[in-house]
């Protein structure tokens, strides 16, 4: 029952996403283009709705609950914390915290790897996006 209700919810979210994507305002010169700012949201919403519909039409297979449900829940919690932290710490510090927390959840304990990845990825991203491309990420 829970499986079916989740699939119905995902189907509704996908269809709602397509409806919302259709309300994206287009510039007059891009209205006639085959690929515009609505294209990717249409693909995402349609893909989600289609996948949920296909799974909804199939007979569910009974599976045992995995022992890895706790790490999955923790990763979801860390993603929510990342989104909440964005406006206070900024993108690059929040990304560093997200990476180190997820690596700890997944069992990585080597300090050079933890600090190298969690500081290296945001540093490279900052260098490429804000310094090389001169784009400011508005948060």
- Segment 70-108, tens digit of pLDDT: 898 999 999 999 999 999 999 999 999 999 999 999 999
Residues of the chain with pLDDT under 70: none
Phi/psi class of residue 22: alpha, beta or left (left: φ > 0; alpha: ψ in -120 to 50)? alpha
User: What is the structure's pLDDT at 64?
Assistant: 77
User: What is the structure's pLDDT at 113?
Assistant: 95
Cut 0.75: pTM above it: no
User: What is the structure's pLDDT at 139?
Assistant: 72
User: What is the structure's pLDDT at 9?
Assistant: 94
Average pLDDT of the residues of the chain:
90
Give CA–CA dist 18/46, Å, rounded: 7
Give CA–CA dist 85/92, Å, rounded: 11
Quickly count helices (H) and strands (E) in the chain.
Answer: 5, 0
């Amino acid at each position: 029952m829970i499986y079916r209700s989740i699939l119905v919810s995902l189907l509704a979210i996908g269809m709602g996403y397509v409806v919302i994507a259709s309300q994206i305002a287009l510039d007059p010169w891009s209205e006639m283009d085959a690929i515009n700012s609505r294209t990717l949201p249409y693909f995402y919403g349609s893909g989600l709705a289609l996948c949920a519909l296909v799974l909804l039409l199939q007979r569910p297979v009974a599976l045992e609950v995995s022992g890895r449900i706790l790490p999955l829940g923790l990763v979801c919690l860390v993603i929510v914390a990342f989104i909440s932290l964005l406006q206070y710490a900024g993108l690059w510090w929040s990304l560093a915290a997200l990476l180190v927390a997820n690596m700890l959840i997944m069992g990585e304990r080597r300090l050079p790897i933890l600090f190298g990845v969690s500081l290296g990825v945001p540093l490279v991203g900052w260098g490429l996006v804000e310094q090389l491309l001169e784009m400011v990420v508005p948060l």
